[in-house]
Amino acid sequence: MAMLATILATYGIFVAQAENPADRAERVDNEWPLIVTADHSDECGQALALGQQAQQDGGLAATFSLLNWNVEKAKDPSLVSEFAELARLSDLIFLQEAVPLKKTRTVIEQSLFEAFVRGYVQNEVETGVLTLARTPHLVHCQLLATEPWLRTPKATSVTLYPLADSDDTLLTVNLHAVNFSFGVKAYQGQLDRAAALIRGHEGPVIFGGDLNTWSDRRQGVLDSLADELELIPVPFSPDHRTTQFGKPLDHLFMRGLAWQSTKTIEVSTSDHNPLFATLRREDP
């Protein structure tokens, strides 16, 4: 990660280093962003509460575009240039199975602020979830769950963003759900940690990612959580989302926002098709 920070700093991209919560609590003047590697969602919740009190200039506009894509570790060399084109159209980006070092100068020059959470590591190559935005985040929480069978980590990136011309903040949860399990206990647990943070947030919310809803039970867990939290699913028509056992795996949910347009894009560079949506803040 230090190498990544050095590379990105060279090209002018902001990368914040993780911080000890005890050190953060001792400060009088808060510096942003707050970066929390949270073993428990309440640690992240405390940081988010501080972030909501921050006074920041700028922020995401009232209308903005969102890209969600599981990029399959960028195995296909053509994916990087394809992503660069999609990134140009996006103000906020959720990636899963992201490899942060696989960036082109074109992407770097777009000055996207990143929030990466390392998940699986193989042959010294890190993959995880990556949230990118055209405005710097106030808070970034790094949450990890464990695959019950493989014992490998699955990452969640939680970020808090300022909103232009508003005292509200936008909470985003970019999640790659656990996949290989008989029941739904581990799946439920991972989603419950995210739900606890959404519950405590006053303001707009985006929750999404590769949620691995390949069974009715998993979809039921997700639907129940969304209903409880008053999260609205973002619709796609025509719907070219990647499916398993006939069920779409990738989802976007929102609260305090409305969608203006949505589309799914069929690609051959990943085993998942990207989702694209234009969203706007709802009037208070």
Kindly report, residue by residue over 224-278, the tens digit of the pLDDT.
999 999 999 999 999 999 999 999 999 999 999 999 999 999 999 999 999 999 9
Highest-scoring range by mean pLDDT, 76-85, 144-153, 222-231: 222-231
**Alpha-carbon gap, residue 30 to 33, rounded angstroms:** 9
**Alpha-carbon gap, residue 35 to 17, rounded angstroms:** 7
Write down all domains in the chain, each with its CATH number in brackets: 2-11+32-281 (3.60.10.10)
Nearest in space to 145 (alpha carbons), one of 117, 118, 178: 178
pLDDT score at 17? 37
- Phi-psi map region of 42: left, alpha, beta (phi>0 left; psi -120 to 50 alpha): alpha
Residue 27: pLDDT band by 50, 70, 90 thresholds?
very low
**Alpha-carbon gap, residue 88 to 77, rounded angstroms:** 19
pLDDT at 4 over 80: no
**Given the DSSP bridges, would you call strands 169-176 and 232-233 parallel, antiparallel or unpaired?**
unpaired
Q: Which residue has the tokens 């069920």?
A: 247
Residue 151: pLDDT band by 50, 70, 90 thresholds?
low
**Alpha-carbon gap, residue 107 to 80, rounded angstroms:** 9
**Alpha-carbon gap, residue 98 to 218, rounded angstroms:** 24
* CA dihedral sign, ordered 177, 257, 227, 265: negative
> Coil, strand, or helix at residue 276?
strand
How would DSSP label each residue in 115-180? EEEEEEEETTEEEEEEEEESS--SEEEEEEEE-TTT--EEEEEEEEEEBTT-S-EEEEEEEE----
CB environment 38-62: b (16+ within 10 A), e (fewer): beebeebbbbbebbbeeeeeebbee
- List, in order, residues 6 or more apart from 250 with CB less than 8 Å away: 68, 70, 208, 209, 210, 211, 241, 242, 272, 273, 275
Nearest in space to 234 (alpha carbons), one of 221, 219, 252: 252
pLDDT one-digit tens code per residue, 47-59:
999 999 887 788 9
pLDDT one-digit tens code per residue, 87-127:
999 999 999 999 875 555 555 567 789 999 988 766 667 88
